[in-house]
Amino acid sequence: MDCLFCKIVAGEIPSGKVYEDDYMYAFRDISPEAKVHVLVVPKQHIGSMDEITAENSAVVARIFEKIPEIARMAGCESGYRVISNCGPDAGQSVMHLHFHILGGEELPLHIRGN
Ligand code: DGP
């Protein structure tokens, strides 16, 4: 499958790894919108929020259990924001489910991660 984030997970494209386990991979966004801008993706290919099902949602739960630790490791000391853009109206540009973690500074109200 020709998926950018699958290639990053596989190590075929270099990235600034923040955290990895059997289920997820977290890395620095290539064009950060805040001092801390990390993407967390499931290792299995899920196209977007629209493709979360009862069969694959356990990995999404694991990601959300881990996000506070990833945010702290990445440098968020006093809060952070989590965003997932889904579909054209939200401006999703990579069709592999991902959660933006933004922080490291006081965030403007309107920031969509990309
Ligand atoms: P979205 O537009 O919500 O689908 O977010 C996609 C994000 O992916 C965007 O903030 C930029 C980031 N991105 C795109 N290509 C690369 C890449 O090759 N490496 C890294 N680290 N991030 C990327």
pLDDT in tens, 11-62: 999 999 999 999 999 999 999 999 999 999 999 999 999 999 999 999 999 9
Alpha-carbon distance of 29 to 16, in angstroms, equals 8
Ligand 1 centroid – CA 31 distance (Å): 7
Q: What is the mean pLDDT of residues 85-89?
A: 96
Q: Which two tokens stand for residue 112?
A: 């969509």
pLDDT tops 90 at residue 110? no
Q: What is the mean pLDDT of residues 92-97?
A: 98
What DSSP line would sit under 29-95, residue for residue?
-SS-SSSEEEEEEESS---SGGG--TTTHHHHHHHHHHHHHHHHHHT-SS-EEEE---SGGGT--SS
Identify the residue whose C-alpha is closest to ligand 1 atom 18: 30
Ligand 1 centroid – CA 28 distance (Å): 9
Identify the residue whose C-alpha is closest to ligand 1 atom 7: 114
Q: Ligand 1: which atom is nearest the Cα of residue 114?
A: 10
